[in-house]
Amino acid sequence: QKEVEQDPGPLSVPEGAIVSLNCTYSNSAFQYFMWYRQYSRKGPELLMYTYSSGNKEDGRFTAQVDKSSKYISLFIRDSQPSDSATYLCATGANSKLTFGKGITLSVRP
Amino acid sequence: DVKVTQSSRYLVKRTGEKVFLECVQDMDHENMFWYRQDPGLGLRLIYFSYDVKMKEKGDIPEGYSVSREKKERFSLILESASTNQTSMYLCASSPSSGGRSYEQYFGPGTRLTVT
């Protein structure tokens, strides 16, 4: 079983939709859960992260971790065409990150 | 703002050539990383350095080596390039302190083609 599994997508939604991006992980020792956004032909950029369980909100973005089910989610409210990108989840241990394969999101105007 | 720069955006090399990919960060970060990114396989860690002259193998180190002589610079070396090393190479850096060590900042990537 891969350490971090992410829905492969791609995902296409209309502008204004609520988007839910999800990952599962296998190692219960992970404490840090990251979301990166990668635009085409660019390097990934850190979007937000949570430590241990719970929610974290930043504007239209909410990151959620459920450690009991080993589930990581990113919600995007009122999605915009500028949100069109590849989203990568990652989990951290020993100062290193393990990434999911990424899901490409397209928000249609 | 953290800035991570990579020496080339695009590189074309022949099979068997020795290839150097350079990465420089300007935020005095202790940790530096080299990844490759391939369609369907995602980001995979090649090597990790947590201090000058210190390195640790990642998940796919075979065919690669690294050098870190100065804190701000981390080089990836392909001793004898092969076609299966055609990929996007991404460098990243992060601080070493606690949870912030997971805040990795990436460069723009080098797309390497080996023919």
Burial of B39 (0-12, 13-18, 19+ CB in 10 A): exposed
Mean pLDDT of B36-42: 92
pLDDT at B2: 62
Is B110's pLDDT higher than 80?
A: yes
Burial of A105 (0-12, 13-18, 19+ CB in 10 A): buried
Could you tell me which residue, B5 or A54, shows the higher pLDDT?
B5
B31/A95 Cβ within 8 A: yes
Is A53's pLDDT higher than 90?
A: no
Reported confidence tier of residue B29, pLDDT bands at 50, 70, 90? very high
A95/B42 Cβ within 8 A: no
Residue A36, helix vs strand vs coil:
strand
B90/A43 Cβ within 8 A: yes
**Residue B25 touches partner A, C-beta closer than 8 Å:** no
B99/A32 Cβ within 8 A: yes
Return the closest-CA partner of residue B31 out of A95, A48, A43. A95
Return the closest-CA partner of residue B106 out of B30, B10, B32, B20. B32
For residue A15, the distance in angstroms to the closest alpha carbon of chain B comes to 27
Mean pLDDT of B17-30: 96
Summarised one tens digit per residue, pLDDT across range A5-29 is 998 889 999 999 999 999 999 988 8
Mean pLDDT of A88-109: 93
